[in-house]
Structure 1
Amino acid sequence: MMNDLKDYEVTVARFIGGQHRAVGDPVKMTERAAKYYMEPHGTGLKLPNLVVAPVDDKPTEKPAAKTEPAANANG
C-alpha cells in the first residue's frame, strides 16, 4: 500500500519532513515522500543497511569421491 511507512537513513544533514536531520538519523516515511530525497530525484536519504550474519561458504568436510563400479573384464 502507498501509505505504509518505511525506514530510511539520512545521508546528508538537511531538513527532511520539517525537521533538521543529522547524517545517520533514522526516518520513517512513505515511499512517495522519500523518493524526492533519493536518487535520481534528490539526495539525503537511503534505505538502511541491513545487518546480515556472515555465511561460511566453505564446507566443513570434503565430499566423498564418487566411484564407478569396475567393469566386468569377462564381458
Structure 2
Amino acid sequence: MSLPAPNHPCWQKLATGALNRLKTQHLGTQLLSKRIERSTDPMDVKVKEIQAFFAKWERALPAEVAQLAAL
C-alpha cells in the first residue's frame, strides 16, 4: 500500500490528534505521536513532519500505512 497524497485529509487529522489512535508497536511512531501531541508548531509544520516520517519509514510500517486513509 502506498502513502496517501500530500493533500489527503488524513494528514491534517493525524496532526490534530488522530496519530494517537493509530495502532502501532513501532517505537519511532509512538515517539512521533507524543512529540506531535506536545508540539506548539503550526499545523503545516506538523503535517510536513508526519508526512516525512511516513515517507521515510513506509516500507517498515505497512500496517500503519494501511490505517492512514481510514483515520
Query: Structure 1 length as normaliser, TM-score?
Result: 0.26
Choose between structure 1 and 2 for higher RCO, CA contacts under 8 A separated by at least 6 residues. 2
Greater fraction strand: 1
Comparing both structures, which one devotes a greater share of its residues to helix? Answer: 2
TM-score (norm 2): 0.26
Larger Rg belongs to: 1
